[in-house]
Every structure is written in C-alpha cells, then in structure tokens.
Chain A
Amino acid sequence: MTESSQPLKLIIDGQPVPFVKGDSVLVAMLRNQHHPTGGGCLCLGGDCPHCLATIDGVAYVRTCQVPARPGCVVACTHHAHAVPALPQTHHVEPTTNARHQHADVVVIGQGKSGLAAAELARTAGQTVVTLDAAQGQDVIGIYPGAQVVARTTQGMLIVHVRQEIIVATGAAELHPVALGNSLAGLMTARAAQQLQAAGLSLGRIVVINDANRLVRFEGESNVTAVVVRDDQGLEQHVGCDTAVIDLGTTPRNMLHRMAAGLPGVRVSVVGDAATNSDVPNCPAHGLVCHCSQVGVADLQSVWDRGFHELELVKRASLAGTGTCQGGVCLPYVRSFLANKGGTLQPAFTARPLARPITMGEVAAGGHHHVTLRTPLDGVHRAAHAHMERAGGWWRPWNYGDWQAEYWAVREAVSIMDVSTLGKMLISGPDALTLLDRLYPTKVSTIKTGMSRYVLLLDEKGYVLDDGLISKISDTRYTLTFTSGGATTAELWVRDWAESWGLNVRILNQTMSLGAINVTGPLAKELLARAGLEKPPEFLSHVEAHVAGIPCRIFRLSFTGELSYELHHAAVNAPVLWRTLLDLGKSLNIRPHGLEALLKLRLEKGHIIVGQDTDFDSTPRRIHHEWAVKLDKPDFVGKHAVLRTNKVSLDKILCGLSMEGPPPIEGANLTVDGNYAGYVTSATWSPILGKTVMLAWLKLSNDLAPDRVMIDGRPAQRTETPFYDKEGARAKA
C-alpha cells in the first residue's frame, strides 16, 4: 500500500478513526458512530450546540464547521452538554494573528442574497469585503467603529466598515421541542440531506413536519420511535432510526440585531435573514435551551416568579445565554411568552460575542501598554539595576544597595537618571503672557537665567502638577513637569495657549532630552572635574559643556543636597553618565535609584504630586500658599482658590514622625479611636534614625492634633522639612 492510499484518520477520544476527504469533523464522527454531545437535533449549519467538541485542545468548537484532517484530535468533552474541564497543566495559548481590512461595505453571508448584495455594491463602485461562515470566516462580533470581527482560518480578521453592513445570513431550521428531544438520531432536514450526500446511512427515517402532531421521541440514547398524534387525536408510535425535523425556518438575524443602531454606518438585512417568519407554537414539554439545559417547566417557573419580559426571562432562566446565543431556543422562548402574555415580544439584544472564541483570539492584534525607557535604560540594566515601573517609565529602583546609594548622596556625590521628567520649551512674543496666566506664581518676576518652583492648578484650584519654570530670554522659557504628569501637562499648556489665541511655539522635549541629576556635597567637585568651571547658583541655570557634552544645567534640589540637573541631547546620555561615574570614582560616587530618592526627598518633606496630593488638594491644604500669588490679575484656578480660602480648612497635608519601622503607605490615622486621616508617604530615615511621613490629617475646630495613632503606635506631628530645615545644604 502506498502512502497516498493510506486511509485518512483523525483521533476521536484517543482512537484513530477513518474519514473521507471532504468530511467535516462531525460527519467523520457520525460516520464512525460517534455523536459529539451524545444527542440532540443536529443541524450541520453551525446554529445548534449539539455538535460541540474539543478539537486540538480548543473547547466549544462546532464540529460541523471544521473540515476533518489527518491527525486532528477530537475529544467529546461536551457530552450531555457538560462543561469541559480547564487545562490542568500550564497552558500556553498559541499566538493568533490579526489582520485589518478597510472597506465601504461588508456583506456577511454568501448565499444567493449575499452574493447579489455584494455584486450590487461592487457595481456601484464600492469596495466590498465578503464574509461567509461556510468558507471559514465566522463573524463573532460587530462593534462600534464600525468593525466586523471574524474568525478565519488565517486568524482574526477585523474589517473596518465605512458605509454599510449587509447581513445575509439566511435562515436556520427550527428544532423540535418535545419530550425526548435530547436523544441521538434527531436531525434537521438540511442535515439529513448533507449526511445522505456524504454517503451515510440514516436507517429508517421518520419526517416530522407538523409540530402540532409531535408528542415525543422515544428511545434509550438513540431515538427508536416517534410518537405523533393522528387525526383522531390518538397517539401513534412510529419506529425509526432517524427522526428528520422539517418544521420550517427562523431568520438567522443575530448579527443584524447586534449591528442595528451602530452610529456612522448603515445596517441592512437581506434574503431569508430578513424574513419575519411566525414563531412556532408554544411548546408544552421538553428541553428548550440545550446550552443551559432550560426546559419548558423552567420557563414556567420563571414566569410564575414574575419575570414576564424577555430580557428578564433570559437572565432568570439563562435560556439564550449559552454558546448558540439563542440560535435554537429564542423562537420557542418568544412563543412561550406570547402564549402567556398575549404579546409577541421582540428578540432580545444581541451583543458580541456571537460565538465562543479562545483567549488567543481575544488577544489577537492586541499589545500591552508600553512602559517607556529612558536613554539610559540599557546602562541601568547592564549595571544590574533592579528596574521598576514608575510614572509610566522603567526606572532603577536600586543598584543592589540602597543604603550605600543613600549615603553617597548625603555624604559624597551621586547621580540619578531623571530623564523621565516632563520637559517643554516655550517660545514666542506671548510666552510670558501664557505662563503668567497659566501658573499662580508671578512669572514676570523671574529673571533671565533664573528658575522657580511652581504649582500648576486646574480651574477648580486643585493641584494638577508641579515643576520648574526657567527663563532663557524674554520670549523663551523651559518648563519641567513630573514624570507621570508630563503628558497631561502638555495637553494642558497647548489647550490653554490655543484657547487664548496666543502667539507661542511649544516643543515637548521630554523624550528628546536626557537628564541626569548630580547631587551630594561633592557634586560641585565632580562637575569641576568634568570641566564645568562656573556652575549655576541656587535656582539659576546656565548653558555649558559637561565632559564635552552640551548641557543646560539647572541648580535645584529634590534630595536636600547640593544638586545640578544636566539636560542634554538624549543620544549623549550614556556617554555623559559613564564619564561622570569615571570622574567621580575617587569621590566614592555611585548612582542612586528611586528607593534612595524617596527617602531623601521625604526627609526634606518634598511632596510628590499624585502620591501625596489627592484629587482635591488645594495649595492651602498642602501648605503651598507661598507658591500662589493672589495679587496677580488672574491665573487658572484663581477664583476657585479665592472661594475655597473662605471655607474653613478641614484637612491638611502634614509631617509626622514616629519611632520604629514605617507603616504602610495608606495606613489610617486615628485620634481617640476615631479616623483622622491617612499616610501618603512613609520611610525610615537613616540620618534621623526614625520614621518620617507625610499624611492627610483631619482638622477639628481648625486645629490639627499633635499626636495620632497609626497601627496602634503613636506618631507626632512634625514640621517639615525633617532634615536641614534651613536648606543650607541645598543652597551651599
């Protein structure tokens, strides 16, 4: 026997069984006396849940829609509509591709009506995409956009539709609802035709074409007889091997219902899917919804409990919530409710998904949200930094020894990658006007070459962000923002500039500039070694070369020590970083990460907007009234600040200190057992030998308590900064 003449085989429940070329998996199973679910009326049209099985590890697959192929592994995990077990071992979902297509018109279904509709659209000069389940393009959802999403043999296809969605999905055959309708051997007329065409013997056949005469199906597991009522009303037993159900059709309009009403696109339905066929007679007995195993008696129970509206009956009974989404049961549930209530209710809402899909198919084409990388990202990783996500960026948490990093800042010199800071350049004749209206500080009093710490407020007077304004010339300024707030701040600045019609140019330099903070008592010495002879004074800035690299150098301090922030072209960041580390070796330099920085800044009582502030933090509540000049003519948030200043203060952000280890951030404060606020930042201070914190504290009669309890331990209200109160070290 040559290889090509070997019989084709697939594997069913561990056993190889032959199939014939052209078989679907279902036909191959029936050819070998296997019923995927053990019973129920088969349709071979993809409408019912009776042929579900697990194929190649994927559950809930309609075997009638999948061509059989050699080696295909089928497991009857849905027998008697059981729920298949979840994979017991680590399961790696294979990647599913996604493709996007754009078209004026999408036609779903390629029967006569669908073909005609597509041809008509093409003739009219429209671009058309056709989708047909019979060709392996199974539409699983229609979404606003409008997007028609189909599962195809090449992965997920997302069709972006500009003008019209035409549903031409035809009609499904009605299934029988009677006692015994879960037996094997029941099939629709179309299914019987297909099986006979495939060469399967159906044995003795009884055709049921009058639901009024159908009483029940009889048999153990396979149907052996159909009981019908004759003209005299007497029951007649008709022996059979196959009961062929020919009770008419119902429009297959789920996708039309799903798409109807989507904005920006026409939705039409043509052919048999557009027919308004009568619903079948009200069933008296039997299973109505096979997916959820809901019988007529269950519907009666739901009705008796007061659920009379179709959407509620669906939820109360679960009829229509299974894998076929009402494809089989909906006509009968509507019929039941019409019989009870006298009114035929419209079909229930159809929402994606129309078909079960895999997690891989759900994720197809999706990407995780990007965490940004600074120009020094590779340098940090090469130094084995422990990287963490913070403010939307990958940042070094530490380089293995946070304590050494901390003390390098306090006692020697250290550098930190602060490229994540928002950075913006503003230029133009109206630059000052823009900034003076935008910020609560008097920008007009900032001298060229000087910088100022500023709050950014929203219209409600709440703190939106903070940063630095630096004046380069009368018409040119740089701004900095927090790492996490930079994107919002850019939109904020641009929006106001446009709203006020100001003549300014704005450039976001956050990603084009790197930034390195050189900090510690020996920072000046390090920069001198790098060739900077005249570093800027406190809160001023200069343009100069550091280690041969052009920089704008800002003198400010977040750590509490002498600090210089070097802004430079991002491409130069690695060279500058390595050069500074080389030059600082004899100064015991080491880089520090966020872990050390959070301690350093908290010792100084510096806030982090977003961590220490809340959505309703006013300058007064965070003790930053000094940053708000209410004698300015106007600025964003001024009126709200004036209004809220008239209200008595109900809470403040304050400093606390305590002995022992720090509580978790977010820990509650209590006074006399009553809630009094919560901790926003807490750390053990190496230099102070105690825990220091920032916390929101409720006021009572305008007074803040001096002592609070945190996790059963006392804490003392303490003025900030906790360390170097006069700021002598930063201004040295």
Chain B
Amino acid sequence: MPKLDRFPLTRIVSTPALLDGIQTSTTAIVMRTAPDELFWLGSPAAPVINDPHAIIEHDTSFVGTWLSTQAATAWVSANCEWQLPTTRPVFAQGEVAGLPVKLWIEPRRMLVLVQQPFAADLGERLQ
C-alpha cells in the first residue's frame, strides 16, 4: 500500500473573474476545483487576491500520494469510469474507486488527493 502523505494547501474562494486573473506558478501546483475556488499547493505561497470577501483557508485535511505513470494508468483503468484529460499537466477531479478524488497529472506521475475522512479507504483501494 503506498504511504499517504499530508498535502497542506491553500484554498481560495473568490469570484471567478478574480480567480481567472491569478498568475499561476511554474513550481506550485494550482488546481481550479470550481469556478469560485482554487487550490494552491507548494511554493511560492499563494498570491494575495484583491477581494476583501475572499475566503483564504490553509487546509491541512488533504492526504494523498504520487503515483508513477504506470501505476496511475493501472489504477485509473481499473477504477475510473470517466476518461482523464490528455493534456499535461492537468487537473481533474471526480469519482475514482468510489472516492471523490482530485488528480494532478504530470507527464511522468500523478498526484491523487482526498480529504482525510476518505484516507483509510483510499489506502485500501490503492492496493
């Protein structure tokens, strides 16, 4: 069973227009989880957003693991009913192995993230 690590990230909830304007980084992973929400993972830190009503939350509830392309392909093929996007890097989310997962797919690896309440089941279902 792959070891699951905690992936602290910043959740930014704001207007779609303001989130559209955020400059992404070449080093941080930026996942647009919804029109009004964005996950910022890694450094540099998430940029300041010009929205006094924005919700900026440092979220430590996500856990996951990096899978090699080979392992990711096998896992997705066995557990995912929907087709993953083909561009790289790319963010995708949906049900895989019966769990609500967020995927960050790079050319040579894939990050699988779930929130902590699903962690034990993800561990079992990655076997």
Contacts and interface: CB of A to CB of B under 8 A. Distances in A.
Interface of A: 97-102, 158, 160, 365-370, 372-375, 377, 393, 425, 427-429, 475-476, 503-507, 509, 511-512, 569-571
A278 to B, nearest CB: 42
Interface of B: 6, 11, 13-15, 36-37, 53-55, 57-61, 76-83, 97-99, 115-121, 125
A100 B81 contact: yes
B97 A367 contact: yes
Given A427-B54, A511-B117, A370 B83 contact: no
Q: Which 8 A-B pairs have the closest CB atoms?
A: A367-B98, A372-B117, A571-B60, A512-B61, A511-B115, A505-B13, A102-B83, A428-B53
B116 A158 contact: no
A511 B11 contact: no
A507 B57 contact: yes
Given A512-B59, A570-B116, 20 more contacts: A98-B78, A98-B79, A100-B77, A100-B81, A101-B77, A367-B97, A370-B118, A373-B116, A374-B117, A425-B55, A429-B53, A476-B53, A505-B13, A505-B36, A507-B37, A507-B55, A507-B57, A512-B61, A569-B58, A571-B6
A570 B99 contact: no
A97 B80 CA distance: 13
Contact of A505 (B54, B83, B121): B54
Contacts of A503: 15, 53
Contacts of A506: 13, 36
B120 A377 contact: yes
Contacts of A505: 13-15, 36, 53-55
17 contacts: A100-B80, A101-B77, A367-B97, A370-B121, A372-B117, A372-B118, A373-B119, A393-B117, A425-B57, A504-B53, A505-B14, A505-B55, A511-B61, A511-B115, A512-B57, A512-B59, A570-B116
Main SS of chain B's interface residues? mixed
A368 to B, nearest CB: 7
B81 A160 contact: yes
Contacts of B99: 367, 370
Nearest to B11: A507
Nearest to B117: A372
A100 B98 contact: no
A509 B56 CA distance: 12
A563 B11 CA distance: 31
Nearest to B8: A571
A571 B116 CA distance: 9
Contacts of B81: 100, 158, 160
Given A375-B116, A507-B13, A511-B61, A370 B53 contact: no
A370 B61 contact: no
Nearest to B122: A370
Contacts of B14: 505
A427 B78 contact: no
A375 B62 CA distance: 11
A507 B61 CA distance: 14
Nearest to B54: A505
B49 to A, nearest CB: 11
A667 B50 CA distance: 58
B4 to A, nearest CB: 13
B54 to A, nearest CB: 6
Nearest to B121: A370
Contacts of B82: 160
Contact of B116 (A100, A370, A511): A511
Contact of A475 (B37, B53, B80): B53
Contacts of A101: 77
Contacts of A158: 81
B66 to A, nearest CB: 20
B120 to A, nearest CB: 6
Given A505-B14, A570-B60, A571-B61, A373 B117 contact: yes
Contacts of B116: 373, 375, 511, 570
A368 B98 contact: yes
Contacts of A504: 53
A365 B79 contact: yes
A100 B80 CA distance: 7
A564 B117 CA distance: 24
B73 to A, nearest CB: 11
A377 B36 CA distance: 31
A512 B13 contact: no
Contact of B60 (A369, A374, A476, A569): A569
Contacts of B118: 370, 372
